[in-house]
Amino acid sequence: MKTGMTAEKRTPDKKTPAERINALPLWSGPVEPQPLTGGLSNESFTVEDRGEKYVVRFGHDFPFHHVLREREIMVARAAYEAGFTPQLVHAEPGVMVSRFIEGRTYGPGDVKANIGRIVATVRRFHTEMPRHVSGPGFMFWVFHVLRDYARTLKEAGAAPPRLAELLSAAEELEAAQTPLPIVFGHNDLLPANFLDDGERLWLIDFEYAGFATAMFDLAGIAANAGFSDEESAALLTDYFGTSPSPEILKCHAAMQCAALLREALWGMVSAIYLAAPGADYEAYVDDNLRAFDAAFETFRHRFGKA
């Protein structure tokens, strides 16, 4: 989630990133890492060696975000095996090295313009990945994540004044969910986690991947790209192969609200544990809370208060 330049407060490293990268047993000689900037969570660089280009990504376990790197490495390898992501060529504690794909990451407009391709890729990811992942299963349920973020904030003495109100809203949104089959979800479908090389789409970043219903991914696509109600209905029709029922429309609208609330609480927790150069967690929280408030008001207007 939110890859880019960062430094974790709790695990400072005395070596510079360039020194750490050059110490990896991969290169034919000294290399000159180039930073990938613009994110909020993981420290990433590109490296060229012997005519090949790679992405080097640093990141320790983030238990406060339910991120375990051993599980992420397993999913990345499984996703490569299934044809969804670039090859992971090296992994050791705190670092992952993948092949670089020449392409562009999406923005919200790209998601809207390529929604058919995105739906096909995501549906295939949902159904094919269970045959490739291994080890203990991980269940991602956003409402558990919200409750646990709230617990973390309270224990740190950083709970916002309106936390009880937000948790009450989350309960209302959880009650709007409808039973769906369990799939293997990406669970962080920000536009920038789609990479287009001109011929095909790739998925990247699997920190939160795990078993879930499809609805969080479908809601994440819509919420993060600013879909209208009509665009959301078209997305659901494409994914499920039939016009969405009123229950599915309500479930999806509720999950979009939950996705935005998760981003807001993610930012609050990150402000405690992460220190990304240039990252403004307060602004990130404010932006997502405003988006959540607007979406939740629209949800209640359309579907009524539980």
Query: What pTM was estimated for this model as a whole?
Result: 0.91
Please name which of 180, 78, 188 lies closest in space to residue 133, comparing C-alpha atoms.
Answer: 78
- Please check whether residues 143 and 221 belong to one and the same domain: yes
| DSSP characters over 243-261 | PPPHHHHHHHHHHHHHHHH
Same domain, 240 and 121: yes
pLDDT at 43 (0 to 100): 83
pLDDT score of 15: 87
Based on the fold, state whether residues 297 and 262 are members of the same structural domain. Answer: yes
DSSP conformation letters of 88-157: EEEEETTEEEEE---SEE--HHHHHHTHHHHHHHHHHHHHHGGGT--SS--B--HHHHHHHHHHHHHHTT
Q: Could you tell me if residue 75 is inside a domain? A: yes
Q: Are residues 252 and 228 in the same domain?
A: yes
Looking at 102, 137, 167, which one is the last position of a domain? 102
Q: Is residue 12 part of a domain?
A: no
In the chain, the number of structural domains is 2
Q: Is 76 contained in some domain?
A: yes
Is position 287 within any domain? yes
CA distance 207 to 126: 16
Residue 225 sits in a domain whose CATH number is: 3.90.1200.10
Q: Kindly state whether residue 3 falls inside one of the protein's structural domains.
A: no
Domain boundary among 80, 102, 124: 102
- Which tokens in the block code for residue 111? 């998601």
Q: What's residue 39's pLDDT?
A: 58
Residues 222 and 272 in one domain: yes
Same domain, 61 and 202: no
CA atoms within 13 A on the CB side of 249: 18
Q: What is the pLDDT tens value at each position of the chain, 306 positions in all?
A: 454 434 444 444 578 999 999 999 999 999 999 998 755 667 899 999 999 999 999 989 999 999 999 999 999 999 999 999 999 999 999 999 999 999 999 999 999 999 999 999 999 999 999 999 999 999 999 999 999 999 999 999 999 999 999 999 999 999 999 999 999 999 999 999 999 999 999 999 999 999 999 999 999 999 999 999 999 999 999 999 999 999 999 999 999 999 999 999 999 999 999 876 677 899 999 999 999 999 999 999 999 886
7 lies in some domain: no
Please identify, among 81, 102, 123, the residue that sits at the C-terminal boundary of a domain: 102
Q: What CATH number did the domain enclosing 61 receive?
A: 3.30.200.20
- Quote the pLDDT of residue 28: 96
Q: Which residue range is the domain that position 44 belongs to?
A: 17-102
